[in-house]
Amino acid sequence: MHILAAMSGGVDSAVAAARAVDEGHDVVGVHLALSRAGGTLRTGSRGCCTIEDAMDARRAADRLGIPFYVWDFSERFREDVIEDFVAEYQAGRTPNPCMRCNERIKFAALLDRAIELGFDAVCTGHYATLLDTSAGRELHRASDAAKDQSYVLGVLTAAQLAHTYFPLGRTPSKAVVRAEAEARGLTVAQKPDSHDICFIPDGDTRGWLAERVGAETGDIVDRAGTVVGSHDGAHAFTVGQRRGLALGVPAPDGRPRFVLEVRPVTNTVVVGPKEALAIAEISGDRYTWAGAAPDAVEWTCDVQIRAHADPVPAVARLDADGSLVVRPETPLDGVAPGQTAVLYAGTRVLGQVTIDRTVSAIPIDA
């Protein structure tokens, strides 16, 4: 196959490209420049897609003897990921920028261009597996549960899965990948994994948002609507947060209170007991299927609401209004609108839904 290897500058994508070469594919490496700040350098393991990463990717491609290019996707990244991130926070939701990057950049913009140029597939270093069946291609969890990245790939559609290639999916551990990189003479063999939001490398999400959306004081209220404190900007709060509330009125039982809801229209933050973070139902209108859609109106599945959360048995259904509703067997903890819920059938990814609405397991008057 004619394969475009997306090379981030890390060890996973470098080894994935190397394996594609070993399997006899015609491989071309590409690094995505996602920031116009070309002088930006990585700080330890914070951030990614920097000039340092581009240089590491080029050295890996040279070592593998494959052509290498840098494509400027910075404008698309700004519009589809960064601006979306800000807009979601302004709407009182908690977005996942890595999901949006996979959905709109790596497996939309990049894949579209690759197909236009005649490539058969895009290769990445994600830890997930693909299975071709009579019903079509399926996305499954990786062999190494600790490194499984199927959650962040849950946004991929059947059409996109048909043109993807994940050489690392059946690798038993990250240690094996690093050892292989070392044996191949790749300089990124011991490079730290990136973490945190790549466009906020210092990790100060609150400060970053304050610069872009401003800060306006507002009320902090309990579930009954009683004012118990004030804040300097609702965007700085997320569901489940406990620290930094500085409430002026203690809870009647003296127990800590947590953020239950952010209401951007009224610039209000709602707080309550930890038990009220238990969510009995989630739903959303923005969902996609990773392969064939379920052939029933209601079905059993597992639901996962974070990249490294445990899956929870659930019942999902499609309502007449077009929304996807998921009711877990046991309540989910601290779910916020804007998060992504990925549905599984065993190891197979069925699809995903962006959470628009949640229903607490604890009534307001409880």
| Phi/psi at 301 (5° precision) | -165, -175
Distance between CA atoms of residues 223 and 118, nearest Å: 56
- CATH number corresponding to 2-184: 3.40.50.620
What are the counts of helices (DSSP H) followed by strands (DSSP E) for the chain? Answer: 9, 20
What residues have CB less than 8 Å from 279, skipping those under 6 apart?
328, 331, 332, 333, 334, 335, 358, 359, 360, 361
Quote the tokens at residue 35. 């920031």
The neighbouring-strand residues paired with 352 are: 288, 342
What's residue 150's pLDDT?
96
DSSP-H helix ranges across the chain? 11-22, 51-64, 74-77, 83-90, 97-101, 110-116, 158-161, 174-184, 205-213
Q: Which architecture characterizes domain 215-272 according to CATH? A: Roll (2.30)
- Residue 274, burial from CB neighbour count under 10 angstroms (0-12, 13-18, 19+): middle
What residues have CB less than 8 Å from 224, skipping those under 6 apart?
364
Catalytic positions: 101, 198
What's residue 196's pLDDT?
66
Fold agreement between 2-184 and 215-272: no
Domain locations in the chain as residue ranges? 2-184, 215-272, 277-360
The neighbouring-strand residues paired with 219 are: 230
Where residue 24 falls (left for φ over 0; alpha for ψ -120 to 50; beta otherwise) is left
Quote the tokens at residue 235. 């965007």
Chain segment 294-332, per-residue pLDDT in tens: 889 999 999 999 988 999 999 999 998 989 999 999 999
Quote the tokens at residue 199. 């466009």
Quote the tokens at residue 361. 């397991």
Distance between CA atoms of residues 174 and 193, nearest Å: 10
What residues have CB less than 8 Å from 273, skipping those under 6 apart?
251, 253, 255, 257, 258, 362
Q: Which architecture characterizes domain 277-360 according to CATH? A: Beta Barrel (2.40)
Is the four-CA dihedral 182, 186, 188, 193 of positive or negative sign?
A: negative
Residue 245 and residue 259 in contact, taking contact as beta carbons nearer than 8 Å:
yes
Residue 201: C-alpha distances to residues 50, 204, 208 (Å): 10, 8, 10
Please give the single-letter amino acid code of residue 345.
Answer: A
Neighbouring C-beta atoms of residue 345, cutoff 10 Å:
14
What's residue 13's pLDDT?
96
Quote the tokens at residue 156. 């991929």
Beta strands at 164-165 and 136-140: parallel, antiparallel or unpaired: unpaired
What's residue 252's pLDDT?
80
Task: Note down pLDDT in tens along the chain; length 366 residues.
Answer: 999 999 999 999 999 999 999 999 999 999 998 876 544 544 544 556 678 889 999 999 999 999 999 999 889 999 999 999 888 888 878 888 888 888 888 888 899 999 999 999 999 999 999 999 888 899 999 999 889 999 999 999 999 999 999 999 999 999 999 999 999 999 999 988 876 677 887 777 777 887 887 778 899 999 889 899 998 888 778 888 888 887 878 788 888 899 998 888 788 999 988 898 999 999 999 999 998 888 899 999 999 999 889 999 999 999 989 899 999 999 998 888 899 999 999 999 999 999 999 988 887 654
The radius of gyration of the chain's CA atoms, rounded to the nearest angstrom, is 22
Distance between CA atoms of residues 67 and 82, nearest Å: 30
Distance between CA atoms of residues 257 and 289, nearest Å: 37
What's residue 36's pLDDT?
62
DSSP-assigned states of every residue in 191-235: PPPPBS-TT-TT--HHHHHHHHH----EEEE-TTS-EEEEES-GG
Distance between CA atoms of residues 153 and 139, nearest Å: 8
